[in-house]
Amino acid sequence: MIETPYLLYLGSTSDPLSIKTSRGIAMFRPDDCVGEFVHEENSLTLGLPQMGFSQAVQAGAKTLILGVASAGGALTEELIADAEAALNAGLDVASGLHSRLRDIPRLAEAATRNGRRLIDVRDPTMKLKVGTGASRQGLRLLTVGTDCSVGKMVTTLCIEQAMQARGYLADFRATGQTGIMIAGSGVPVDAVIADFISGSIEQLAPERSDGGWDLIEGQGSLFHPSFAGVSTGLLHGAQPSAIVICHEPTRKHMRGLPHFPMPSLERTIAANLEQARLTSPDVVAVGVAVNTSMLAEKEARDMCDKIAETTGLPCVDPYVHGADLIIDRIEKCFAISPPFTPLST
């Protein structure tokens, strides 16, 4: 377990998308965050008190969260130097990057010298199995996207909150480093060997007979050539009863690939349903979740109304507007209402 409270790392990153881990933790675990660490040249902020490592320790922080995404998930020299300084100040260091903290000799030595821990969140902890696709009992929802970094984790967490507020049994199942840091457990699916991706999700959300929902955080996009393999494995392993499509409407091309245009929502919905039907023949789409952070309020409302009209699905920004319209559609599609009567075993 990662010890709280946290100091969230922003460093000198200038790309808002690159701090999504720190931002996600600040959004969904605010009580566990004492502050943020930024370099002077960084104009990004999460609105938390800005403090150095020693100051954070004095404020009660136990762990520095390296909540930034670097190119290729590598530990840059700046990250290494800052992590070492944090260890020397008395903080544990947790990272969700592909490069492992433990593989950097100076960090391993500093952790030992200071009696601190290095926590690599992207290490799968379960004994992995190959997926079978065998039908299993239970209700599962998977978020999918037109692109990566469009709000699948945020949408899944908002749906969890909305379902629980109505009295449903609903559990967020994390598949990425940020989600794992928020939930305290999960599968870092992009660090799983390809043959085991679907099997790892079958283990993450196994058969369930209590009438509750497993809400599975999606990754990547079927239309992103870099990450479509992970997205496909998730669809097959999740065996979802329902999917929610996540979208960022101002994006002109796939993230990081200016030569790849964004797919339409209609094409995204059709492709994800087709792939999901391999293991879940009766899967249905129950909503569209739009990230409206780049839109004015009226523009955002108009955009959601237009998407709802063209897709025939409820469309909201679940973080801004709430996820109730999506929950309404789930209740209609599955003829359910809270409280659940547990399914017979």
Residue 238 in any domain: the answer is yes
Residue 126 in any domain: the answer is no
Q: Do 106 and 156 fall into the same domain?
A: no
Q: Which helix (H) or strand (E) holds 231?
A: helix 228-238
- pLDDT, residue 185, reads 84
Show the 3-state SS of 162-210: HHHHCCCCEEEECCCHHHHHHHCCCCCHHHCCHHHHHHHHHHHCCCCCC
Q: Do 102 and 190 fall into the same domain?
A: no
Q: Do 42 and 115 fall into the same domain?
A: yes
Number of domain units in the chain: 2
Cα dist. 181→21, 117, 263, 338 in Å?
9, 15, 30, 29
Q: Do 199 and 313 fall into the same domain?
A: yes
Q: Do 229 and 313 fall into the same domain?
A: yes
Place of tokens 């449903």: 168
Question: What pTM was estimated for this model as a whole?
Answer: 0.86
- pLDDT, residue 123, reads 82
CATH number where 116 lies = 3.40.50.720
Domain boundary, last residue among 120, 154, 183: 120
- pLDDT, residue 344, reads 46
Residue 196 in any domain: the answer is yes
Residue 131 in any domain: the answer is no
Q: Do 42 and 166 fall into the same domain?
A: no
CATH number where 311 lies = 3.40.50.300
Residue 133 in any domain: the answer is no
Domain span at 299: 139-334
**Residue 87 DSSP one-character state:** H
Residue 315 in any domain: the answer is yes
Q: Do 69 and 179 fall into the same domain?
A: no
- pLDDT, residue 340, reads 64
Residue 128 in any domain: the answer is no
Q: Do 80 and 172 fall into the same domain?
A: no
Do 250 and 300 touch, CB atoms closer than 8 A? no
Domain boundary, last residue among 66, 92, 120: 120
Domain boundary, last residue among 92, 120, 148: 120
pLDDT along the chain (345 residues), means of 10: 91 83 92 93 86 96 90 80 97 91 95 96 84 96 96 96 95 93 88 94 95 96 96 98 97 94 97 98 98 94 96 97 97 85 49
- pLDDT, residue 72, reads 56
Q: Do 36 and 150 fall into the same domain?
A: no
- pLDDT, residue 345, reads 39
Q: How far is CA 175 from the centre of its chain?
A: 7
Residue 40 in any domain: the answer is yes
Dist. CA 11–CA 77, nearest whole Å? 12
